[in-house]
Amino acid sequence: MAIQQLPDGRWRVDVEPIKGRRFRKTFKTKGEAQRFEATCRSRLIESPQWSPKPKDRRRLSELVDCWGRLHGRSLADYEGRRVIMDRMVERLRDPVAITFTATDFAEYRAKRIATGISPKTLNNELSYLRALFNELRRLGEIEFENPLALLRAIRLQERELSYLDAQQINRLFQVLRSMTHPHVELIAMICLVTGCRWGEAQGLTISRVGDGMLQ
């Protein structure tokens, strides 16, 4: 069937007016899909050399540049994220973006794990690359689906909580006493004694302290 509705409600055109000349594109409405199909058929009959749009042959590095220009620079962590993405593209050997698959990234990830790279770092890389494809698709810069949309992140094991022993506590306070800020040791002591967070201890006022108790 030349036009088919997708599970997400969009309409997919898959038309081959002449053997070997096939066109695929996705639209929001059925009307747009029908007009595209009709245009492909009529123009190809008029001019067999006509093609609706050249195939996207941009490499992944070019998409990173595009993402950076149109969206990335607005992010607070852009500089650090850009360095990570550029290095990732280099390790992936800068493939043609439209040919990049979830399997390609999964194999890349497996090799990185084997070299001792942490799962958390690899999950960050997956998140950044997936966000890049999503954003460029929202902006209309790419028409193909996000190849990483269904790829799962690595499940991280939660670390068991540990506590400082008496020797470690003494060493910690020796360091704190050597610091220039006069209140660091006091705030740390309040945290250890009460179990409150650093920000809560730092925000205490005199009115909330009395008779050896904190309110």
pLDDT higher than threshold 70 for residue 49: no
Q: 78-123, pLDDT tens digit by residue?
A: 999 999 999 999 999 999 999 999 999 999 999 999 999 999 999 9
Task: Name the domain count of the chain.
Answer: 3
Residue 208's domain spans which residues? 166-214
Same domain, 210 and 176: yes
Q: How far apart are CA 184 and CA 181, in angstroms?
A: 6
Same domain, 172 and 195: yes
Same domain, 120 and 86: yes
Q: What Å distances lie between residue 155 and 111, 122, 123, 158, CA to CA?
A: 17, 11, 9, 9
Confirm whether 12 is domain-assigned: yes
Confirm whether 99 is domain-assigned: yes
Q: 58-70, pLDDT tens digit by residue?
A: 999 999 999 999 9
Contact residues for 202 (Cβ-Cβ < 8 A; gap 6+) = 183, 187
Same domain, 84 and 38: no
Confirm whether 147 is domain-assigned: no
Q: How far apart are CA 94 and CA 69, in angstroms?
A: 19
Q: What is the reported pTM?
A: 0.54
Contact residues for 30 (Cβ-Cβ < 8 A; gap 6+) = 3, 5, 11
Confirm whether 156 is domain-assigned: no
- Predicted local distance difference test score (pLDDT) of residue 131: 96
Give me the chain's average pLDDT, please.
Answer: 85
Q: 10-32, pLDDT tens digit by residue?
A: 888 888 776 667 788 888 888 88
Same domain, 68 and 108: yes
193 pLDDT tier (thresholds 50, 70, 90): confident
Confirm whether 104 is domain-assigned: yes
Sign of CA dihedral 163, 166, 168, 172: positive
